[in-house]
Amino acid sequence: MLNKMNLILFGISHKTAPVEIREKYSITKKNNFDNKQYIILSTCNRTEVYTTTCSPQETKNEIIRLLEVEYEDLDYFYFLKDKDVVVHIFRVASGLDSQIIGETQILGQVKHAYNKAKEFGMNNKYLDDLFKQAIEVGKLVREKTDISKGNISICSVAIKMIKTFFNEMENKKVLIIGTGKIGELVAQYLLKEKMSYIFVANRTYEKAKELAEKINAKAIKFDQLNKELIDADIVVSATASPHLILKKNVVEEIMKFREKKLFIFDLALPRDVDPEIRNLKNVILYDLDDINLVVEENYKRRLKEAEKAEKIVKEEAEKIWQQLEKKLLSVVEQAA
């Protein structure tokens, strides 16, 4: 007897695990998943693997192996099947499952995961349908509700936190480490605050130069980083490096040459900044989990809109799951 084809999801997120656990399973490239029919959604707040299978438990075990999940970390992960997967990805795309309810970056990240899977031939027609619909539902929720009003994201929350520290930002020196999407977004937000001393660093100098030209900033070579840290007011680090960029002993030495406080925002996963740095005098360090301190302020304002969004997601998931279930069942019938 043939088993039913199932839609499954195995993942970890900010809701189930702290940053030091999540960063171990962040996927910044295809890794072990080459030639697999999986869609991988990997962001600073989640790593999720979506696929279809007739053997859910076996496939789950394979994903655990491919992610190299340590036994003691298994309880941080969740495993969903069928309609629950549809509801989940619709909630994710709508910003309902985000650290900041209604944030807009996640919809782009869902699109990116879908496009990458297509590019590498890792999706199938069922995953294709699921993600296309998730993207449409994400758009629909934002059209029908004010859940994303104010365009709040991790980057804008970080900027809001910076603004609470400085009454006047125009003459402050900011050092951005990393030229990816987050680094660029931070730079754009800072430009809106009319900051005129923005420096960009990246291991590849040409990339630093490219971003600096876009935002009228100054590019610096990576080996100049320590020198620029001496008089920086704010550091925002958001690289894709698997290793620490700012180590405690280096920052400790730099602080001997300065009297003012140094504010560091580590927006990377894995983390760029040694967490022990927060124990140094005159150093204020915030990582992704610390952003939650400000996130709470946004929740109350958005809960009403979230209720409307949940209703839309529930209705759309019910409708789409009925269509998907028929397609998944037809696979088994054709094979019988």
More confidently predicted of 177 and 34? 177
Q: Is residue 93 part of a domain?
A: yes
Answer yes or no: 54 catalytic.
Answer: no
> Angle at which helices 105-119 and 125-144 pack, to 10 degrees?
160
Reported as a pLDDT band with limits 50, 70 and 90, residue 2 is: low
Q: Mean pLDDT across the chain, nearest whole number?
A: 89
CATH code for the domain in which residue 142 is found: 3.30.460.30
Domain end point (choices 292, 309, 327): 292
Which candidate, 256, 314, 267, 257, places its Cα nearest to that of 289? 267
Is pLDDT above 50 for 74? Answer: yes
Asked if residue 192 has pLDDT above 90, the reply is: no
Q: State residue 174's pLDDT score.
A: 94
Q: DSSP class of residue 201?
A: E
Across the range 216-231, mean pLDDT stands at 93
User: Mean pLDDT, to the nearest integer, of 213-232?
Assistant: 92
SS (H, E, C) 130-177: HHHHHHHHHHHHHHHCCCCCCCCCHHHHHHHHHHHHCCCCCCCEEEEE
Q: What is the CA radius of gyration of the chain?
A: 22
Q: Is residue 1 part of a domain?
A: no
Given a cut of 70, whether residue 334 has pLDDT beyond it is no
User: Is residue 43 domain-shared with residue 140, that is, in the same domain?
Assistant: yes
Distances (CA, A) of 101 to 75, 135, 292: 25, 17, 11
Whether 230 maps to a domain, the answer reads yes
If you ran DSSP here, which 8-state letter would residue 204 be given?
A: S
Distance CA 69, CA 134 (A): 27
Question: Which whole number is the average pLDDT over 202-219?
Answer: 93
Instruction: Examine the pLDDT at 1 and tell me if it is beyond 70.
Output: no
Residues 275 and 329 in one domain: no
Question: Looking at 257, 274, 292, which one is the last position of a domain?
Answer: 292
> Same structural domain for residues 276 and 169?
yes
Q: Is the pLDDT of residue 57 over 60?
A: yes
Whether 143 and 164 map to the same domain: the answer is: no
Question: Contact, 107 vs 139, CB < 8 A?
Answer: yes
End-to-end CA distance of the chain: 8
Residues 328, 272 share a domain: no
Q: Given this model, what pLDDT does residue 203 score?
A: 93
For residue 309, is pLDDT > 50? Answer: yes
Indicate if 10 and 145 belong to the same structural domain: yes
Residue 126, helix vs strand vs coil: helix
Hunting for tokens 């069922």 — which residue is that? 126
Q: Say if residue 122 is in the same domain as residue 212.
A: no
- Parent domain of 159: 154-292
In this prediction, residue 7 has a pLDDT band, given cuts at 50, 70 and 90, of very high
Domain count, the chain: 2
Indicate if the alpha-carbon torsion angle 136, 137, 140, 145 is positive or negative.
negative
Residues contacting residue 156 through CB under 8 Å, at least 6 positions apart: 189
Residue 336: is its pLDDT beyond 50? no
Report percent pLDDT > 70 for the chain: 93
Mean pLDDT of all residues in 285-298: 81
Contact 24, 73 (CB under 8 A): yes
3-state DSSP assignment of residue 273: strand
Same domain, 58 and 28: yes
Phi, psi (deg, nearest 5) at residue 194: 60, 35
- The Cβ-side half-sphere exposure at 196, using a 13 Å CA radius, reads 3
Least confident of 267-281, 282-296, 303-317: 282-296
Answer yes or no: do 231 and 282 share one domain: yes
Q: Does some domain include residue 270? A: yes
Instruction: Flag the least confident range among 20-34, 69-83, 93-107, 112-126.
Output: 20-34
Query: In this structure, are 158 and 94 located in the same domain?
Result: no
Based on the fold, state whether residues 239 and 159 are members of the same structural domain.
Answer: yes
- pLDDT score at 152: 62
Exactly one of 44, 63, 169, 283 is catalytic; which is it?
44
**34-38, 190-194, 304-308: range with lowest mean pLDDT:** 34-38
Strands 39-42 and 46-53 come out as: antiparallel
Kindly state the tokens that stand for 11.
């993942």
What are the tens digits of pLDDT across the range 91-150?
Answer: 999 999 998 888 889 999 999 999 998 888 888 899 999 999 999 999 999 999 999 875
Does one domain contain both 55 and 145? yes
Q: Is the pLDDT of residue 204 over 70?
A: yes
CATH of the domain at 212: 3.40.50.720
106 domain-assigned: yes
Confidence at 31, pLDDT banded by 50, 70, 90: low
Q: Lay out the sheet containing 173-177: strands in order across.
A: 218-221, 197-202, 173-177, 234-237, 262-266, 283-286
Which of the two residues, 104 and 280, has the higher pLDDT score? 280
